[in-house]
Every structure is written in C-alpha cells, then in structure tokens.
Amino acid sequence: MNKQTRLLIASFLSSTFITGAAFAAGVHPTTGEALADDQTFTYRILDEHSSVDPQVVEDVSGAEIVRDLFEGLMNQDRDGNLVPGVATGFTTNDTKDVYTFTLRDTAKWSNGDPVIASDFVFAWKRAVDPELSSPYAWFVQLMSIENAGAIIAGETAVDELGVTAIDDHTLEVRLSAPLPYFAQMTTHATTFPAPQKVIEAHGDAWTKPENIVSNGAYVLTEHLPQERSVRERNAMYWDNESTIVDKVVALVINDENVALTRYLAGELDRTEVPAGQFPRLQKEHPAEAISFPRLCNYYYTFNLSEDGPEAFKDPRVRQALSLAVDRKIITEKILAGGQPEAYTFAPEATAGFTVPEVEMSAMTQAERDSLAKELLAEAGYGPDNPLTFNMIYNTSESHKKIAVALGQMWKQKLGVQTDLGNLEWKVFLETRGNQDFDLARGAWCGDYNEASTFLDLLQSDSGYNDGKFQNTRVDELLASAKIASDTTKIYTEVEQILAQESPIIPIYHYAGVYMMDSDVGNWPVDNVEQNWYSKNLYKIAE
C-alpha cells in the first residue's frame, strides 16, 4: 500500500467513523512523516492543577489542560500568532472599543449541543460574578470590558457587563478603553465558553469526568487527583478530523529528579530538566534535550520604601551591586540550561520589544567590577564602613544556589556582608508584600506578549511593585505607551532609566528547558508564552 492510498483510507476512516486512531499507521498529512500507532502523549506536571473550570483555573498546568478541553474565540499557532478558534474572525470599529466576533456554526459541545454566542456571554459574566469570586476576575478587568470593575466590586449588576449575543453566531464586546490587542486576550482560559446547563445541574462538581461537557479537541475521561488526569479526543469537536494525538496523559510528579528518571525509563514524553543537568543530558541525548527562550524574568528587588535600608536610597550603591553580579556564572555554571543573561527588565523574547543598549551590557565583567568598587567607595562604603543587608528568597534549590553565589560575589568583590533568608513561599510573599526585607528575589512571567506586562510592575502604584520604586518619568512613559502606535522609543527610555536608577537587579531571563522525546512532532518552541495545544502535536513512528 503506498502512502497515498493509506492517506486516502485514513481520511475516509476519519470522515466515516469520526473515532480515534484515524491517523494511526498513517502519515502526517503535511509533513509526510510516518505516524506512530499509539498516539498517546504523556507529560509531567509539577503539582495537582487547581481546577479545569475555565473561569476558575489559575495555574499554568491547569490552563494547559483547559486549553485542550475547551476552545475560546481565538487560538495561537506554533509561533504565538492569532488563528481562528470557535470564532472564524472578528471586526472592530475605528476607535477599537467595540469588537464583533463571528462564530462558526459547526462548533459543538461534547454532548452534541451547538456552541453559541450566549455560551460566551454566560462564561464572561460568570468570570466577573462576585458569586463565583473567580481568582482570575481581574483578567476580565484587564481586558477593559465595560463595567467589569464595577461588577467585581459588587457595585453593578452582572448583566451590565459589556458583552452581548447579537444572534447565535455573533458576539459583540464593548470596551471601556481602546485596546489594540484585545483579540489576543481571547486565547486566555478565563475567556473560554462554559456550558450553562451542565453547571446549573451539577454545581461545583460539574468539572468531574462523569459530569463535564466541553467544546475543545479533547474531553476529560479520568482524573485521579495528585496522580493523573487523562483527556481523550472529542468526537464532537468541529475539527476532530485534523486531530492526530488520541490521548493525553498528565502525570503529577512533584520531584523533578524522579520525573527525569521516569522520562529516561521511557514513561514520559516530556519533562523539565532540573537546574544544572542540561549540559550532561544534551551530551547524552542531543535530540531530546531542548532549550528555548521563555517570557519570564528573574531579578532581585531593592526595598526602596521608608522601611528599607538607608544605603539603598543611594542609586550608586544599587548600581554597584548590580554591576558586581557576574551573570555568566549564574547562567552557565549554576543553571546551565541556555538561559540568557539579563541586563534589562523585559526579556528579549517579548514581541515587538527591541532590547535597548544599556551601558552595563556593553562592558566586560572586569570593567563592571572596577566601576562597582568605585561607585561603592564614592557612596562611602568600604573596609572601614562595610555595607551589610539581608536578602530573602523562597525555598528552592536553584534560588538558594543563586542567592549564595550573589552573596559570595558581593563579598569577594566589594566586601559586602549579606544575610540570606530562605522563606517558605507564602511566608515569602507576605514578607515581601509588607516591605519587611532589604533585598528580595522576584520573577515574573508575562500575562500577554507585550513589554508592558513586565514594565508595568515598576509603575509607582502597581500592586506588584514590592520594592516601592517611584519614578514620575517612568509612570508618564508607561501611561503614554498604552496609546502609542510605536512603543520602541518609550520602552527604551524606561529601560535606560531602570539601568541608571537600578531599582532592581535583573539576573537572567527564563528558558524552557525540557527533555522532549524525539518522536513528539510540532512542539511550539517558538511560542514564548508556551501556549501549546495537544491537537497540533503528533507522535512520529520510531
């Protein structure tokens, strides 16, 4: 049987029976690669996900599952570009504050009901309803949908939300402010539709495998909390014919070293690489150890509030400490997973963001060290008057290694005394949030792919600005970026001010460092947000 006949039979089978394994023993329709008989993708998740309810889910591993079970208006392709989901497209008015989405009439729920515009209206109202009190209600507010803030605060009725089903296949959204990237935000789990009848019938238990009805490429078939969750192809999905992977298994494995061992024993198709092990694994398994940039940063923030140490009020001290950090040692010797060194707050991987030339990045480490010594001496700190402060980080082996390395670098180069504080996560958040520290670890992953998702953190009134950095020029620039057509100049100036003022010490930007079985096809390594869809993956025959 030649490839064409097999393909013909395969497509015949899939259109006739719409059951699983349509592509098994076949070839990939576009790449022509031979497909494995067993189209099961098994991967590790660090922790039990909080929920698979689209309006409730708040963690990354939960959102990954929700993206398979439900489908929103728009999806992302392997590069992170916007592609149609339930909506075939959208139009917007000139002022970009009214968006109208057209829904495809072939979209169905897994129980056969059609997916209609009112399913989205129900879901979005649900997300802001104080009754549900979703931890992601803020996302709808971030989307600038009319009245979202007032509804969350309980000041306005839920029905006042600026979203209307014009008819079954037309959804209109009204915004309180123009938002050029609104459509991008509809790839987020919070905006996915919800089955009203099922939720009303089962209450909070609607997400259990025996009750759940979903509209994505997969349905939830098994869930043993803290152990595994299994999703299998949804025969009712409008594009089920193009789905190749039949079954996706997420295994909860808390310990990353156990996960790696189980990967090497062939139990998993994907797992994370523990810090420091990438070079060895790359040597032993060159086709499987992969590293690519992620949309996250890692930094230390100075406490610039009134409670903070006097020494840190002097920008020279902050700059000296930042200069003396040999980032290469941290990225190459400690993490060793291909993470880029950071001299700016926003990562280079951010869409439309050109990394501005900051002075520090052009210098050699020796030059930085001598400048650091000079600056610190100018500020009045030296052997007679040594600088001492505490630094806190949350419990994790690699955070600890980095903190120890930083302390050593400062001690050797500048004679600075540091007192390290290892805090459990919730204690850490509380301590940092109360400005009860001198220097604290921080990290941020972008909520959307635009530099403001990072830079806004350093706005004076940002709730996430735990270092309490205040700079009116930065605030002005960030406000102007919201309506500017070209933001390059603005973001460059912001980063230059940050380099000058050093309210934070950027250390490195994250990389996705995985062991990925070489028979997994089409993993979206170029999607920096790592929004992946199992329906786009396939398993190649070995």
Partner 1 sequence: MIAYIIRRLLVAIPTILVLIIASFFLMHFAPGGPFTSERPLPPQVLANIEARYGLDQPLWKQLYDYLFNIIFHFDFGPSFKFKDRDVNDIIAQGFPISLTYGALSFLAASVVGISLGIAAAIRHNTWIDYVAVGLGIAAQALPNFIMGPILILTFTLWLGLLPGGGWNGGQWQYLIMPVIALSTSYMGSIARITRSSMLEVLNSNFIRTARAKGLPTRSVIWRHALKPTLLPVVSYLGPVFVYVLTGSVFVDIYFSTGGLGQAYVGSALSRDYAVLLGVTILYGTLTVVVNLLTDLAYAWFDPKIRY
**Smallest distance, partner 1 to C-beta of residue 132, A:** 9
**Smallest distance, partner 1 to C-beta of residue 266, A:** 8
DSSP symbol at 94: T
Q: Is 133 in the site for partner 1 (CB under 8 A)?
A: yes
Q: Is 264 in the site for partner 1 (CB under 8 A)?
A: yes
Q: Sign of the CA dihedral 40, 46, 50, 53?
A: negative
Q: Is 6 in the site for partner 1 (CB under 8 A)?
A: no
Q: Is 460 in the site for partner 1 (CB under 8 A)?
A: no
Structure tokens at 283: 């040597």
Q: Is 226 in the site for partner 1 (CB under 8 A)?
A: yes
Asked if 51 and 39 touch (Cβ cutoff 8 Å), the reply is: no
> Collapsing DSSP states into helix, strand and coil, what is residue 36?
coil
Among the listed residues 508, 512, 295, the one whose alpha carbon sits nearest the alpha carbon of residue 406: 508
Per residue in 125-147, is it b (16+ CB within 10 Å) or e — as a string?
bbbbbeebebebbbbbbbbbbbb
Q: What residues form DSSP beta bridges with 41?
A: 248
Within the chain, how many helices (H) and strands (E) appear? 18, 18
User: Of these, 48, 172, 493, 519, which contacts partner 1 (CB under 8 A)?
Assistant: 48
CB atoms within 10 A of CB 165: 17
> Collapsing DSSP states into helix, strand and coil, what is residue 6?
helix
Q: Is 228 in the site for partner 1 (CB under 8 A)?
A: yes
**Smallest distance, partner 1 to C-beta of residue 460, A:** 16
CA distance linking residue 290 with residue 275, whole number of Å: 13
Q: Is 38 in the site for partner 1 (CB under 8 A)?
A: no
Among the listed residues 117, 102, 118, 106, the one whose alpha carbon sits nearest the alpha carbon of residue 237: 106
Q: Which stretch binds partner 1 (CB under 8 A): 15-23, 50-58, 231-239, 344-352?
A: 50-58
Q: Is 427 in the site for partner 1 (CB under 8 A)?
A: yes
CA distance linking residue 531 with residue 66, whole number of Å: 11
Q: Which stretch binds partner 1 (CB under 8 A): 255-263, 281-289, 340-348, 528-536?
A: 255-263
Q: Classify residue 328 as exposed, middle or buried by CB count within 10 Å of its CB (0-12, 13-18, 19+).
A: exposed
Q: Which stretch binds partner 1 (CB under 8 A): 176-184, 261-269, 367-375, 384-392?
A: 261-269
**Smallest distance, partner 1 to C-beta of residue 46, A:** 11
Among the listed residues 428, 487, 427, the one whose alpha carbon sits nearest the alpha carbon of residue 301: 428
Q: Sign of the CA dihedral 124, 128, 133, 134?
A: positive
Q: Which stretch binds partner 1 (CB under 8 A): 163-171, 235-243, 251-259, 468-476?
A: 251-259
User: Of these, 130, 180, 286, 382, which contacts partner 1 (CB under 8 A)?
Assistant: 130
**Smallest distance, partner 1 to C-beta of residue 359, A:** 31
Q: Is 17 in the site for partner 1 (CB under 8 A)?
A: no
User: Of these, 258, 420, 479, 483, which contacts partner 1 (CB under 8 A)?
Assistant: 258
Q: Give 283 or 426: the residue with its C-beta nearer to partner 1.
A: 426
Among the listed residues 390, 414, 412, the one whose alpha carbon sits nearest the alpha carbon of residue 403: 390
**Smallest distance, partner 1 to C-beta of residue 440, A:** 12
DSSP symbol at 107: -
CA distance linking residue 140 with residue 156, whole number of Å: 15
Q: Which stretch binds partner 1 (CB under 8 A): 65-73, 99-107, 222-230, 404-412?
A: 222-230
Q: Is 405 in the site for partner 1 (CB under 8 A)?
A: no
Q: Which stretch binds partner 1 (CB under 8 A): 46-54, 93-101, 385-393, 467-475?
A: 46-54
Structure tokens at 504: 């934070």
Q: Which stretch binds partner 1 (CB under 8 A): 170-178, 219-227, 331-339, 382-390?
A: 219-227
Q: Sign of the CA dihedral 191, 171, 219, 206?
A: positive
Q: Give 62 or 506: the residue with its C-beta nearer to partner 1.
A: 62
Q: Is 224 in the site for partner 1 (CB under 8 A)?
A: yes
Q: Give 255 or 367: the residue with its C-beta nearer to partner 1.
A: 255
Q: Is 397 in the site for partner 1 (CB under 8 A)?
A: no
Asked if 67 and 273 touch (Cβ cutoff 8 Å), the reply is: no
Half-sphere exposure of 23 (CA within 13 A, CB side): 26
Query: Could you give the C-alpha distances from 421 to 30, 52, 403, 446, 506, in angstroms and in order?
Result: 54, 35, 9, 27, 19
Tell me, by CB under 8 A, how many residues bind partner 1.
Answer: 50
- Go through the chain and tell me how many residues it has: 542
**Smallest distance, partner 1 to C-beta of residue 3, A:** 34
**Smallest distance, partner 1 to C-beta of residue 201, A:** 14
Q: Is 429 in the site for partner 1 (CB under 8 A)?
A: yes
**Smallest distance, partner 1 to C-beta of residue 9, A:** 35
- In this structure, which amino acid lies at residue 487? T
**Smallest distance, partner 1 to C-beta of residue 225, A:** 6
**Smallest distance, partner 1 to C-beta of residue 252, A:** 6
Q: Is 461 in the site for partner 1 (CB under 8 A)?
A: no
Positions in the binding site for partner 1 (CB under 8 A): 47-48, 50-51, 53, 56, 58, 130, 133-135, 137-138, 141, 152-154, 204-208, 224-228, 251-255, 257-258, 261-262, 264-267, 424-427, 429-431, 433, 463-464
